[in-house]
Amino acid sequence: MKTRQVLLALTICLFTSVTFAQKTIHNQSVSADIHTARDLFSKNQFISAGAIFEQVEKESDPESDVYAEAVYYQALCALKTDAKNGEIRMEKFLRDHPQSPYTNAANFELANAWFKDGRYPKVVAIYKELPRNGFSKQDQDRMNYQNGYSLFQIKRYAEAEKEFNKVRNGKSTYAPQATYYWGHIKYMNNDFDSALTAFNQLKDNPAFSPVIPFYMSQIYYKRGEYEKVIEFTEPLIVKADKQQVPELSKILGSSYFHLQQFDKAIPYLERYFETSKSRQRDENYLFAYCYYRTGNYEKAITPFEYATAGKDEMAQNAYYHLADCYVHTGDKNKARIAFEAASDMSFDRAIQEDALFNYAKITYELSYSPFNETINAFDKYIALYPSSERNDAAYNYLVQVYMSTNNFKDAIASIEKIQVKNQAIRKAYQRVTYYRGLELFKGLSYSEAIACFDKSLENGEFNPTLRATATFWKAEANYRLGNYEAAINGFERFGQMPAARTTDEYKSYNYNLGYAYFKLKDYAAASAAFNKFVQSAPEQDEKLADAYNRLGDCSYINRDFNSSQNAYANALTLNKYDADYALFQKAMSEGVQRHPEQKIASLKNLVQTYPTSAYVDDALYELGRTYERENQLPTAVSYYKNLLDEYPQSSYRPKALLQLGLISYNQSDYNQSMSYYKQITEKYPDSEESQAAMLGIKNNYIEQNNVDAYFAYAKRQGSNVQVTASEQDSLTYLAAERLVMSKDPKARQQLELYLQNYPQGSFSLNARFYLAEAKYADAEYSAALKDYELVLDRTDNIFTEAALGRAAELQFNAANYDQALIHYQRLEVSSGNKWNLLKARTGIMRCQYELGNFKASVDAAQKVLASENLSEVQKREADYKLAKSYLQTKQEKEAFPLLESLAEDTQSPEGAEAKYLKAEILFNQGKTKRSENEIMDFISKNTPHQYWLAKGFILLADIYLANGDQFQAKHTLMSMIENYPEENDGIIELAKSKLQHLEELEQQQQEQKPEPMQIDPNQN
């Protein structure tokens, strides 16, 4: 037992000895590998070293220092070889071994890697926590430099400056780079002395010598040492790098500018701008001023334009000198724009005053005053500088403007501000008030036109011709307003004026005078006036045929039928205007003179020659009546039946039925007679013929010995047909009617009393219509409309046409376009003359247009244009609505010719809008030059409808911008905002919006500045 214990102890000892020997041998192997790996690492053999460190890691105790060292160096080798997992391994090492002596070194190496990759915020974060006192001086310099550069790159310049300052005065390889960036920061902070000290230290350093002279030149320049700049920089520019030449050229050119050696500055500045294409305002002002001072005005223009992009003293100066350049190069329009802009700024008062006067003067010379710019400018000058020695000149210019301007409205406003008006001003006032009156007249504003003509006449002693024509047009305006007596007085006064005989108006004044008398039913005086007109008017005068017709009417009314026949025959011979009317009236004149054969011949001629005439149904009825009187009853019946068959809506239908009933009665054909009469009482119970038809029915029943049937029929017809009217009913109405016909103010009260007492009376229809007319005359339009509608609720009658015209008009004016359309469509069908037909068609066109039914509006406008006796105003409106409807239905090709025609007259609202629309269409088609020409023509013609002219200017700005002329575009909009008189129609807001866009574009161009030159620290 004892022996066994000894053996066991021996075995244990032997095992322990072997194990110890093996561990010693293993430690010796790891130590050798570590030394080998370190040796390879020191020789930059990072891949081989990394492989051995990996073997050491596997063979080492994870808790040992050797293990941590092996892991660290593996990560470092990976970083050194730019392995993808280098950073990951180093970051893992830092997490797994936070207490390792290699921790600081690992952070340092990680920072180096990040710096190399340009991840500067991470570099700054590491260096903030990394203690540096454990590193070598060389590594500390590197850390300070890299941290400074990283701070510089993230624009933390103050901290960067401190880091560079730690390195710049040392002997390390980082000292020159640190000095450069330290100097650059000082340069950016305008500490030019310190920057110059730093750059002087580097000027002989090959790495920085290409850059340093550039900075030194700029420093001398910014310090205002221009002669030194030239001395230092001119030798450099010859050998400078290509990239440095533009900036050095700018510095040299600017220095010569400040030394007022402009001719020497220009070549350098030209070289700079040729390369840089700079839009910087200060640079362009300097460049432009050099050209300006050397008399090269053409070349000065573009840089001066760039320099105006602001609202400061430089901009005012740039505008002022730019205007002078335009004057020298003969472009007065752009000079006007530039002077106006300079005058709107008050930084230099002397420039502001001179610019305003020159702006006003050039505007006058150009006759450019679409928004009364010339008058406004001189008014402004006189108001701002009342003591100026140029005030007399300003007043003289104002008088000349008043005598030539087309902007009459604003000219009147300007003159009326002058407290004491001299003879020249009053003479101008006579002119502008007269022409403003014509504008208003053409715009159908007759009352306002009369007010202007009165003002002109108050100053009429200066120009007798204007006094005469003002008298004429005032009379015509009164005529249009229904003031016929005032119109007559005016026309007769005009005819007595000696100066009137030389005017165009004199040729037709008797025609106008005749119509005024005709409206007052003074047919003798009307006839005398029309006779004077026809005796002097040339045969080609379009009014001649109409005057003969009116002469015929006067004679016919006065029962001088032979004279009326001759007058109508003269109108018919001319065959220019209302020839069908003349032929019909000639036939009627022949008839009353008991020449039935001539009458029949004339009426047949009318039916055959003018088959679409509005008088054909009249002619058929009259043919029937004439043959009936001649006892040619079958022929008469055929014409009456023809009327009934061909013209179911004719107002002669109940008349023809009445005559047919009478003929049948006289022929003892009582059933047929009753049939004709009953068509009247049942279809036209409110017509004048209804009472006669009822009497005819009564007579037929009596002849048939069936009086009970008559009473039964009369009872069935109800209150619309009265067998007999009560005497009281009749007397009450007749009393009211007499008051109506004599235009007695009490008529309305009497009509209301009648309707109150006899709401279903025999004359209730008549009373209702005349009451509606009375309310209409009193401008009680809503009340009148109700009465007109009650008239229209009855069957067609003698008042239907007139009531339809009034009700349609009132519904339209109240914007009830659907209801107005219904009335106008009914009027078109039932109209008995061409004037009501034209009124109906015009109303349909307007309603369809307002309702947005543009396809229907096209059809309606075409119908209007096909109508007879279309006035110039009516044709213009129809052309306008047709063109606009075409545009709304995408038929631009069809619209364009109409717009071209309308645009010839920009004095009308339709013409002004058409002119703009024509230019807009051309612009949208890419035809910018033609569009621009249209707008320029619009400006030259001017218009009282300034909204459309303003729209044209905004389009003009778009054209300039499309053509790359940003300056013109901007100042066109600025001028609009400054001069356009209306504030609330959307024009100024639109112009401001577009101007804001241009100013933002300018700002973007200004922000495009060259970056300061830098060097790459990784290349040094």
CATH T-level assignment (fold) for domain 463-536: 1.25.40
Give me the pLDDT at residue 92, please: 82
The pLDDT confidence band at residue 719, using thresholds 50, 70 and 90, is very low
Between 67 and 262, residue with greater pLDDT: 262
Residue 623 CB-half CA count within 13 A: 24
Is the pLDDT assigned to residue 556 strictly greater than 90? yes
606-616 exposure pattern, b = at least 16 Cβ within 10 A, e = fewer: bbeebeebbbb
Q: Are 453 and 473 in contact (CB under 8 A)?
A: yes
The pLDDT confidence band at residue 718, using thresholds 50, 70 and 90, is low
Most confident of 382-396, 405-419, 715-729, 946-960: 946-960
Give me the pLDDT at residue 26, please: 45
Q: Give the rounded percent of residues in the chain with a pLDDT score beyond 90.
A: 57
Is the pLDDT assigned to residue 721 strictly greater than 70? no
Amino acid at residue number 978: E
H helical segments located in 403-444:
408-417, 423-442
The pLDDT confidence band at residue 763, using thresholds 50, 70 and 90, is confident
User: What is the DSSP code (8-state) at residue 673?
Assistant: H
Give me the pLDDT at residue 19, please: 35
Is the pLDDT assigned to residue 456 strictly greater than 70? yes
Across 632-660, average pLDDT:
93
- Give the separation between CA 546 and CA 582, rounded to whole angstroms: 9
- Give the separation between CA 338 and CA 832, rounded to whole angstroms: 64
The phi, psi pair for 417, rounded to 5°, reads -80, -20
Across 925-941, average pLDDT:
92
What is the tens place of the pLDDT at every residue in 394-418?
888 888 888 878 888 888 988 888 8
What is the tens place of the pLDDT at every residue in 970-1014?
889 988 898 888 888 999 999 999 989 988 887 777 666 544 444
Across 706-712, average pLDDT:
85
Nearest to 208 by CA among 228, 181, 236: 181
In 504-553, beta strands by DSSP E: none
Provide the phi-psi class of 418: left if phi over 0, else alpha when psi is between -120 and 50, else beta.
Answer: beta
The second-level CATH assignment, the architecture, of 905-1008 is Alpha Horseshoe (1.25)
H helical segments located in 277-407:
281-293, 297-307, 313-328, 332-343, 349-365, 373-384, 391-402
What is the tens place of the pLDDT at every residue in 289-344?
999 999 999 999 999 999 998 889 999 999 999 999 999 999 998 999 999 999 99
Nearest to 152 by CA among 191, 186, 129: 186
Is the pLDDT assigned to residue 889 strictly greater than 60? yes
The pLDDT confidence band at residue 480, using thresholds 50, 70 and 90, is very high
Across 918-922, average pLDDT:
95
What is the tens place of the pLDDT at every residue in 809-861?
999 999 999 999 999 999 998 887 888 899 999 999 999 999 999 999 999 99
- Give the separation between CA 674 and CA 127, rounded to whole angstroms: 123
Amino acid at residue number 287: F
Helix (H, G, I), strand (E, B) or coil at 998: helix
Is the pLDDT assigned to residue 21 strictly greater than 60? no
Residues 6+ apart with CB under 8 A from 184: 195, 215, 1012, 1014
Residue 695 CB-half CA count within 13 A: 9
Is the pLDDT assigned to residue 1017 strictly greater than 50? no
Nearest to 831 by CA among 811, 823, 767, 584: 823
Is the pLDDT assigned to residue 1 strictly greater than 80? no
Across 675-685, average pLDDT:
91
Claim: this prediction has a pTM higher than 0.75: no
What is the tens place of the pLDDT at every residue in 84-107?
787 788 878 878 888 888 888 888
Across 452-479, average pLDDT:
95
Is the pLDDT assigned to residue 68 strictly greater than 70? yes
Q: Give the rounded percent of residues in the chain with a pLDDT score beyond 70.
A: 95
Is the pLDDT assigned to residue 534 strictly greater than 50? yes
Give me the pLDDT at residue 542, please: 83
285-313 exposure pattern, b = at least 16 Cβ within 10 A, e = fewer: bbbbbbbbbeebbebbbbbbbbbbbbeee
Is the pLDDT assigned to residue 8 strictly greater than 50? no
Across 865-879, average pLDDT:
90
Q: Count CB neighbours of 638 within 10 A.
A: 15
Across 242-270, average pLDDT:
92
Mean pLDDT value across the chain = 88
Is the pLDDT assigned to residue 476 strictly greater than 90? yes
Provide the token pair at 25. 């041998």
Across 903-931, average pLDDT:
94
Q: Report in angstroms the alpha-carbon separations of 533 from 331, 490, 541, 565, 912.
A: 53, 17, 10, 19, 35
Give me the pLDDT at residue 24, please: 40
Give me the pLDDT at residue 517, please: 95
H helical segments located in 794-867:
800-813, 817-830, 834-850, 854-865
